[in-house]
Amino acid sequence: MTTDGAAQGAPVPDHPATAPAAGEPVLEVRDLEVHFPLRSGALFGRSRGVVHAVDGVSFTLADRETLGIVGESGCGKSTLIRTLARLTDATGGEIRFRGEDITHAGRRRLGPVRRELQMVFQDPQASLNPRKRVGQILATPLRLRGVGRDAVAGETRELLARVGMNPEHVNRFPHEFSGGQRQRIGIARALALQPQVLMLDEPVSALDVSIQAQVINLLDDLQQEFGLAYVFVAHDLSVVRHVSDRIAVMYLGKLMEVSPASELYSRPIHPYTDALLSAIPIPDPRRNRARTRTVATGEPPNPIDPPKGCRFHTRCPLATDECATTAPPLRDFGGGHLAACHHPMNLSAAAAAPSSPSAASR
């Protein structure tokens, strides 16, 4: 473990989490901020502060890529993904889709964009209209896409079949299905508009483990068939590991680490990431007892008044005075592995050497 502050990568000059693949990214996020003011009265009360839900997040998403976003409850994952779908307004920064700034796009422009950026919600029971039959739920986006009335019934059945449902169930209501089936209906509804990006807000967290595997396999098949890109939000690191090409770790509104999925689990650089991985139980009791763990003590700080410097320093076992005063930038430690830490862990000699600006920005 390296704790020397000098053994770290060079600061990345532009937006370091933007190095997935060559060519123009399908989605680009720059310095995104989402702040929620708190007021003491119902209407015109005095301001009691601001919740820093998302605070300066930058990344890109390539075609057919899956970016997993993980972190503790309250770290800003769901707010981030809802802002990308323009269900929540950004306070600052930019969201670009295919190079076009859509951060503050009006209703006329936002309609076509939302067809390309579709959302699958965590709770399928709450996201499906209980008063409408499945056929009606799927027919609405099909009509928005311009499908003729005569063709809607056929396409509705085809969508159900594509997500592993019985096409004959178009006349059933959502409450007549299991949780896994309802989530498949939610996925079918998103696919009806033929999107390029699916934003998945903990899509399997409310499902049984056996059903989780089925839905994840379905998402993988759909990605291969339709060339979709995914932003996959979850708190279960084992799930994210199997579905993601890259993983971004969030803490208190900021990105702590961004890495190719396989490397994040074998070589975490940020102590917060290491603490998250240490919390994953190992089935073998002997190995579980013998392993060395990084423990994040205490509770996450109040997002209304986040700590200065590194936001994790109040719980970090490696924190120093520098961590409490200076916020570390995301640095490239080679191979697209980025971390915001003054005292990075698990660095080889090659990774510890400062990376060149050209390599960091590729």
| pLDDT, the chain, mean | 86
Residue 362 is predicted with a pLDDT of 35
Residue 139 is predicted with a pLDDT of 94
Residue 16 is predicted with a pLDDT of 44
Domain-by-domain residue ranges, the chain?
A: 1-10+266-362
Q: How confident is the model at residue 96 (pLDDT cuts 50, 70, 90)?
A: very high
Give the tens place of pLDDT for each residue, 216-266: 999 999 999 999 999 999 988 888 988 999 999 999 999 999 999 989 999
Residue 299 is predicted with a pLDDT of 82
The secondary element (H helix, E strand) that includes residue 124 is helix 124-127
Non-local CB neighbours of 112 within 8 Å, separated by 6+ positions: none
Mean pLDDT of 56-85: 94
Q: How confident is the model at residue 32 (pLDDT cuts 50, 70, 90)?
A: very high
Non-local CB neighbours of 13 within 8 Å, separated by 6+ positions: 357, 360, 361
Residue 121 is predicted with a pLDDT of 92
Residue 208 is predicted with a pLDDT of 86
- Other Cβ atoms less than 10 A from the Cβ of 225: the count is 10
Phi, psi torsion values for 203, nearest 5 degrees: -70, -15
HSE-up of residue 144 (Cα within 13 Å, Cβ side): 19
Q: How confident is the model at residue 43 (pLDDT cuts 50, 70, 90)?
A: low
Give the tens place of pLDDT for each residue, 301-331: 888 889 999 999 999 989 999 999 999 999 9
User: CA 239, CA 187: separation in Å to the nearest integer?
Assistant: 18
Lowest mean pLDDT among 27-41, 188-202, 247-261, 348-362: 348-362
Taking 80 as the threshold, does the pLDDT of residue 352 lie above it? no
Mean pLDDT of 125-134: 92
Residue 123 is predicted with a pLDDT of 87
Assign 160 to helix, strand or coil: helix
Residue 236 is predicted with a pLDDT of 81
Of 195 and 297, more confident: 195
- Express as a percent the part of the chain with pLDDT over 70: 86
User: CA 325, CA 152: separation in Å to the nearest integer?
Assistant: 59
Of 178 and 40, more confident: 178
Cα–Cα distances in Å, from 343 out to 2, 6, 26, 317, 353?
7, 8, 33, 11, 14
Residue 337 is predicted with a pLDDT of 95
Give the tens place of pLDDT for each residue, 1-20: 333 443 444 444 344 444 44
What pTM does this model have?
Answer: 0.86
Q: How far, rounded to the nearest angstrom, does the alpha carbon of residue 190 sit from its chain's CA centroid?
A: 17
Residue 324 is predicted with a pLDDT of 94
CB 194 within 8 A of CB 188: no
Query: Which DSSP state fits 11?
Result: B
Residue 184 is predicted with a pLDDT of 96
